[in-house]
Amino acid sequence: MLFKEEQFLDKSLTYINYTIYMQEAIIAALNTQTFPNPKVGAVLVDKFGNIKSTGVHHGPGTNHAEIEIINNSVITEEDTLYVTLEPCFHTDSSPSCCAELLKTPIKNIVIGDIDIDIRTNGKSIELLKKNNVNITFEKNANLFINPHYKNQKLSIIKPTIIGKIATSDNNFIYENNSINKYITNEISLSVTHYLRATVDGIAIGKNTLITDSPKLNIRNSDVSNVTPMKIVFWGSDVNIEKYIDIYHDFIFLTSFNHSASNIYPLLNGEFNLNNIYSELKINSLLVEGGNYLHKFLLNNLKYDSFYWFKSSKKITNGNQLSDPILNKLNTEYKVINKFPLKDNQLTTYTYI
């Protein structure tokens, strides 16, 4: 199917098991900048399914998403609150969201993830249940919005790295002589653009830059103002002048020095992901490379998670996903979920 780049289907997160209300909370959270605090969104829904209020956390020292809901809404016991992360149990720079919610008539709360912060970590859920609040889950909402949160709370000082690949049914990643550069459908593309909105940077390899001329922007209208850093693993090819001029808003990672301000010689010697963390201040990185870049990174580090979008179409003339990548995914990673995206499928992995 052919379609213009601008015609992405928003709200496609339904296909990865989020209700329209949790999606609203996720999208609201994605449009904030809160680091080192997590991005959190909340939506209050009445008994008829109408959204009464939306709240977000705006960063350290500001009200949490649940407090925004409480301050801006008339809550009844027939309402349902959707929140992307377990309400906080502790009180420090802001009041305990759990305690404040217990002062309201709310009786139904849908939570995205249990908060692994030791100050909360299930305590709010336990207390809410003891006070006859019905708790249900739409899992992995916080993990999706804040991919670096787990490493941050475990004090792992490195960027969280997410791999992404799109293939045909027979594992081709590129079709020769095709007027449509997209292998997967509009749902897969939309989910990819939401995924882009969750990270600090998007990385591709040199061949992808030259072949596809990607914009690496976010084209879902409800998160289009989110602007991750654009990064190219360029390598040792010194024939770079034309590209640094055309792609002046990209960061080029090279193995050689150069006077251009957007070139970082971070690939000299043994590759160390911490160099990217320290130099570029990136906490989370989405890698959308082809065979060469994924093989390079799979051999030199581990992906925290991996997204494989697979189309139902078959390709007979082009580049096929290499066996070393398939072997790595099959032996060193485990499948977390498989989501049907109309005639596509998304498989998500995590490192074993």
**Which candidate in 5, 6, 24, 66 is catalytic?**
66
Q: How far is it, in rounded angstroms, from Cα 139 to Cα 197?
A: 19
CA distance 111 to 126: 13
Sequence-distant contacts of 331-336: CB under 8 A, at least 24 apart: 332/298, 332/302, 333/303, 333/306, 336/305
Distance separating the N- and C-terminal Cα atoms of the chain: 36
Closest CA to 145 of 284, 279, 4, 272: 284
Angle at the Cα of 338 (from 45 to 228), degrees rounded to 5? 70
Angle CA 17–110–154, to nearest 5: 80
**Distance, CA of 235 to CA of 268 (rounded, Å):** 9
Tokens representing 142 are: 């916080």
Closest CA to 163 of 323, 2, 298, 14: 298
- Residue 196's nearest CA partner among 233, 228, 243 is 228
CB neighbour list of residue 281: distance below 8 Å, 6 or more residues apart = 200
Q: Is 66 noted as a catalytic residue in this protein?
A: yes
* Closest listed residue to residue 153, CA positions, set 124, 123, 114: 114
* Cα(27)–Cα(55) distance, integer angstroms: 11
Which residues carry out catalysis? 66
